[in-house]
């Protein structure tokens, strides 16, 4: 899907109030989350390269937010390919 911020998918399909935006950065795919319930998140958190997300996934010990589910590289690649 696409809007004025760019290409996005729903990282939590049952919650349409959160979107994960994707773009192709200079070296890697980049991600940026937007939350309708916390619009300041967009301004306070910039674009995150996939390599940094992989590092965060290695530290994940369980909990409510699973970075493996939220930051989906395969889905991001498909969106970027479709949007090209």
The domains of the chain are located at 2-83
> So what's the pLDDT on residue 25?
96
Do residues 23 and 30 make contact, with C-beta atoms less than 8 angstroms apart?
Answer: yes
Among 74, 24, 70, 67, smallest CA distance to 47 is for: 24
41-51 tens-digit pLDDT: 999 999 999 99
Residue appearing with tokens 């991600």: 31
Tokens of 33: 């989350």
29-72 tens-digit pLDDT: 999 999 999 999 999 999 999 999 988 877 877 777 777 788 99
User: Once rounded to an integer, what is the mean pLDDT over residues 75-81?
Assistant: 96
pTM: 0.90
**Phi and psi angles of residue 3, each rounded to the nearest 5 degrees, phi first:** -140, -165
């Amino acid at each position: 899907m696409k809007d004025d911020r760019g290409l996005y998918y729903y990282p939590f399909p049952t919650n349409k109030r959160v979107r994960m935006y994707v773009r192709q950065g200079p070296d890697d795919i980049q991600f940026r989350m937007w939350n309708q319930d916390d619009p300041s998140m967009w301004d306070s958190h910039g674009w995150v390269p996939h390599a940094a997300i992989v590092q965060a996934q290695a530290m994940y010990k369980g909990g409510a937010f699973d970075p493996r589910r939220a930051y989906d590289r395969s889905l991001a690649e498909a969106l970027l390919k479709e949007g090209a």
